[in-house]
Structure 1
Amino acid sequence: MRVAALDDESDQLDLIRQTLASMGHDCHGFTDSKTYLRALRRETFDLLILDWQVPDISGLEVLRWARENLQERVPVLFVTNRNTEADVIEGLNAGADDFMIKPMRVGELMARVKALLRRAYHQQPPNEVSFGRYRFDVAGAQITVDGVPVTLKQKEFDLALFLFQNMGRLLSRKHLLEAVWAIEAEVSSRSLDTHVSRLRTKLGLHPENGYRLAAIYSVGYRLEAIAPPASGHAGADATETAHHEVAQATEAPTGG
């Protein structure tokens, strides 16, 4: 999972990053709110961790901005020195999902992060995952559409699975690159665009098939499940009925 953590104390931020890295998560750390907000505008994350008392803009204001402006409701965990009942109530009412009091304990942080991610992202059994017509054999890196196997390269399969697991979510380019190619990989945005284009074609991710893999300008991609358009016969029948009703109306005798 991709996490954005805000804390103006570098030692606390390092501890958060190290803890999340040990859990297999990719944590991006920020020591000021302005840079943090800039990242939230340009990128997407699976979890936000906030310190309340940050010099430039308080964590509470950052939370309020996130709830008002982010399309996705990303889970938020406060890790802060604010420990009164009134503080906890204010933070939760502003949209926080959990509240953790400093000094931070690593075991507690791990447990709270696991609980938040488990509630927010329901993971299906890993060996075999199905999304309507699409069936993923995770162990064999094989996908079938309506029972027919589709040949995909490993990264194409990984990207397709990640998009389907995040159906409806806007995913930034960096999010996709880090999730599929790993953070240390040097992969260009052009390579991502090429993989997306191939998936559209190979998997038939078009509105007429009930799905749309949309490019969101300057941000990234979103895979959406949509209702397929009515069939041509249905449209023709509706048109014929309309013409018939108009003919009846024009042929009806006028009163008098």
Structure 2
Amino acid sequence: MKIALLEPQASQSVLICDTLTAFGYQCQSFTTVKELQQQLRRGDCALLIIAWPMPEAANVDLIGWSREKLGHDLPLLLIGDGVAPDAFAAALDAGADDYLMTPIRAAELATRMQVLLFRRYPLPDTSQQVQYGHYRFDLRTSLLTLNGEPIELTHKEFALALLLFRNLGRPLSRATILETVWARDLDDDEMPSRTVDTHVSRVRNKLQLRPEHGYRLAPVYSYGYRLEQVTE
């Protein structure tokens, strides 16, 4: 998945791109608005990150251009340093989806991006069956089988298992899992992070996510979880 970054400062650009690469994304960095606009006209990026404010542009106009030319489906994340709250409010009103203040923390950046991506590109609700090794997901009936044998799962456990397999090898934060699987069923205060840990443990046990079945569900320290494929 390709992420476009508009950042004139080389050091900050390298930091952000290194972070995105570590979490399994492709990062294409631009230093000028003109370069970015030429690339985005091709429509081949999944999310746009803009350093805020940009010295060469009327910043709100840049967001307006993005929405006019690229539509409202492209997630747009701002990263700012010393920006007044009113300026961010104007940017959000103009069409930005979210913002982060520097200094950038890798885990927070990845979480904000994952939430935006899952909001814009939700998992399809179709009648297809999806196969991952010996695991088969029936998306119409929410039935999961292992080697042809059904596994008894709750709706949330099925959604969590599917989310993990669809992001095989990519770390998923607890916040992203809550946002995607629970879809704001409860307020944050009512949905503690241990809910995720409990469901992950159940999914690990019920799906027998062990090396002999080709997969390992591993914790990512102080962040979340990653489902890994185990090769012989």
Shorter-chain TM-score: which interval? 0.5 to 0.7
Cα distance 1:144–1:159, how it changes in 2: closer, same or farther (>3 A)? same
Unaligned stretches of 5+ in structure 2? 39-44, 51-60, 76-116
**Counterpart for residue 126 of structure 2:** 126
Residues 1:217 and 2:221 aligned together: yes
**Counterpart for residue 180 of structure 1:** 181
What is the SS of the residue equivalent to 1:214? strand
Q: Which amino acid aligns with 2:18?
A: E
**1:45-60 alignment, distance < 5 Å:** 50=5, 52=7
**1:77-96 alignment, distance < 5 Å:** 82-85=32-35
Deviates more, 1:166-175 or 1:100-109: 100-109
**8 Å Cα contact 2:46-2:74 kept in structure 1:** no
| CA distance in structure 1 between the partners assigned to 2:166 and 2:150 by the alignment | 19
- TM (norm. structure 2) is 0.58
**1:204-243 alignment, distance < 5 Å:** 204-228=208-232
| CA distance in structure 2 between the partners assigned to 1:63 and 1:113 by the alignment | 20
Q: Which amino acid aligns with 1:126?
A: T
**Counterpart for residue 74 of structure 1:** 25
Deviates more, 1:181-190 or 1:156-165: 181-190
Give, in angstroms, the shift of residue 187 of structure 1: 1.7
Give, in angstroms, the shift of residue 173 of structure 1: 0.9
Deviates more, 1:67-76 or 1:155-164: 67-76
Give, in angstroms, the shift of residue 155 of structure 1: 0.2
Q: How many residues align?
A: 166
Give, in angstroms, the shift of residue 130 of structure 1: 1.0
| CA distance in structure 2 between the partners assigned to 1:68 and 1:77 by the alignment | 11
Q: Work out which of the residue numbers 196, 199, 212 in structure 2 matches 1:195.
A: 199
Cα distance 1:149–1:98, how it changes in 2: closer, same or farther (>3 A)? closer
| CA distance in structure 2 between the partners assigned to 1:104 and 1:59 by the alignment | 22
What is the SS of the residue equivalent to 1:113? coil
Cα distance 1:203–1:59, how it changes in 2: closer, same or farther (>3 A)? farther
RMSD, aligned α-carbons: 3.9
Give, in angstroms, the shift of residue 104 of structure 1: 1.9
Unaligned stretches of 5+ in structure 1? 1-45, 53-57, 90-95, 229-256
**1:156-171 alignment, distance < 5 Å:** 156-171=157-172
| CA distance in structure 1 between the partners assigned to 2:29 and 2:17 by the alignment | 14
1:53-82 alpha-carbon deviations (Å, 9 max, x no partner) = xxxxx56544321222341243558899x4
Give, in angstroms, the shift of residue 125 of structure 1: 8.5
Q: Which amino acid aligns with 1:135?
A: R
Report percent identity of matched pairs: 38
**8 Å Cα contact 1:172-1:219 kept in structure 2:** yes
1:139-166 alpha-carbon deviations (Å, 9 max, x no partner) = 1111011111111000000000000000
Give structure 1 regions of 4+ aligned residues with deviation exceeding 4 angstroms.
Answer: 46-51, 58-61, 75-80, 96-101
Structure number with bigger Rg: 1
Give, in angstroms, the shift of residue 182 of structure 1: 1.6
